[in-house]
Amino acid sequence: QSVLTQPPSVSAAPGQKVTISCSGSSSNIGNNYVSWYQQLPGTAPKLLIYDNNKRPSGIPDRFSGSKSGTSATLGITGLQTGDEADYYCGTWDSSLSAYWVFGGGTKLTVL
């Protein structure tokens, strides 16, 4: 059971928009930056969003991130079949000593 809660799966049609939620607490999301990672099948994870809402160079603006309180959201617009992947949120948790936590991951299916 992960400290950060994500829905196991989401789905939408090509061209549509989807959001993926990541719920935590004051010891993690509430007081730290959130990042998001995309893991295409059979590949290593890739940084998609950092510092809650910033995109690394090369990440299209179809991908966006936001944070409110102890929850964060990843948004993807103009869905493409190539977006089918597992998505993970992550942040530091400072409840006892600083350690990193990932959400359980969300499988995105583009129908």
Partner 1 sequence: QVQLVQSGSELKKPGASVKVSCKASGYTFTSYAMNWVRQAPGQGLEWMGWINTNTGNPTYAQGFTGRFVFSLDTSVSTAYLQISSLKAEDTAVYYCARSGGDFDYWGQGTLVTVSS
CB closer to partner 1 out of 45 and 75: 45
Closest CA to 7 of 74, 100, 101: 74
Point out which residues bind partner 1 (CB under 8 A).
2, 33, 35, 37, 39, 43-47, 50-51, 56, 86, 88, 90, 99-105
Least distance (Å) from partner 1 to the CB of residue 75?
18
CB closer to partner 1 out of 13 and 44: 44
CB closer to partner 1 out of 13 and 97: 97
CB closer to partner 1 out of 101 and 108: 101
- The contacts of residue 57 (CB under 8 Å, 6+ apart) are none
| Angle at 69 (CA atoms; ends 66, 74), nearest 5 degrees | 25
CB atoms within 10 A of CB 19: 14
HSE-up of 57 (CA within 13 Å, CB side)?
Answer: 0
Least distance (Å) from partner 1 to the CB of residue 45?
6
Least distance (Å) from partner 1 to the CB of residue 9?
13
